[in-house]
Amino acid sequence: MHYIFYLQVFRKVLDYLFRGRVPLSSIEDAWKVKLAAKRFQLTDLEDLCSKFLKYRLDASNLITFLRNSTKYDAPDIKEVVISRFTKDANNVMTNDQVKMLKPTSIEKS
């Protein structure tokens, strides 16, 4: 089952390399392609994925983005998330995910 995931992500990397565009269909998709771009040292593709992700960041997904930015070593995204936390603290702090957040869930392992 995982090989299908890898094939789909690799196909998107190839689309970028040969066509100059990457068809990102979701936030999850962008994280996967960003990780692959990082692994293959394709900084322009990684930057495109980062832009896609940053544009879709909102109060409802800040915790997910924070966890993913730690998990996938994405300091560029983490910086934006933390900035958003401080800018929109009142709305963020009412989110149930924030209330249940544990420090170990966002620490880099």
Q: Which residues contact 98 (CB under 8 A, 6 or more apart)?
A: 62, 63, 92
pLDDT tens readout for residues 19-72: 999 999 999 999 999 999 999 999 999 999 999 999 999 888 888 898 899 888
> Rounded to two decimals, what is the model's pTM?
0.77
| pLDDT, position 60 | 82
Taking 80 as the threshold, does the pLDDT of residue 99 lie above it? no
Six-digit token string for 84: 């958003």
| pLDDT, position 109 | 47
Six-digit token string for 31: 């994280």
Taking 50 as the threshold, does the pLDDT of residue 1 lie above it? no
**CA 104 from centroid of its chain's CA atoms:** 19
Q: Which residues contact 73 (CB under 8 A, 6 or more apart)?
A: 38, 108
